[in-house]
Amino acid sequence: MQLPATLARINKRVTNPIQRRWAPHLAPWAMVEHTGRHSGRRYATPVLAWARDDTLAVVLAYGRDTDWVRNVLAAGGCDITRRGKHFHLVRPRIIPADSPDVVRGARPFASAFSWVLIGTLEPA
């Protein structure tokens, strides 16, 4: 399953600016800071993310072709702020939502969708 693109556009304009206030501090929210592939502009996108040890999982509710996902993959990583701490996410990759590599906390949410972005967290 994938949420509709119309909802993604509404979230981008309406709810994301509000969520940016708490996403870097309140798990399972996190803030993904990435650079545009073409514009070079920095973006901050609130996401639901689960971590275990040094692995972070973000369920891709809008699918694998969203701008922020393509930016992170093209750059080979991004910055993450989660629970008030800053990290670098390296070696990002997309895996099926039913993969055993999905962080345990993300599995109930992932089961409703198709894809999960995972990567390794390194201290910033």
Query: pLDDT tens digits, residue range 32-85?
Result: 999 999 999 999 999 999 999 999 999 999 999 999 999 999 999 999 999 999
| pLDDT tens track for 81-107 | 999 999 999 999 999 999 999 999 999
Q: What is the pLDDT of residue 56?
A: 98
The whole-number average pLDDT for the span 27-34 is 96
* DSSP element (H, E) containing 48: strand 42-52
Rounded distance between C-alpha atoms, residue 107 and residue 85, angstroms = 23
Is the confidence at residue 8, as pLDDT, over 90? no
- Model confidence at 1, in pLDDT bands (50, 70, 90)? confident
Residue 68 burial (CB count, 10 A): 21
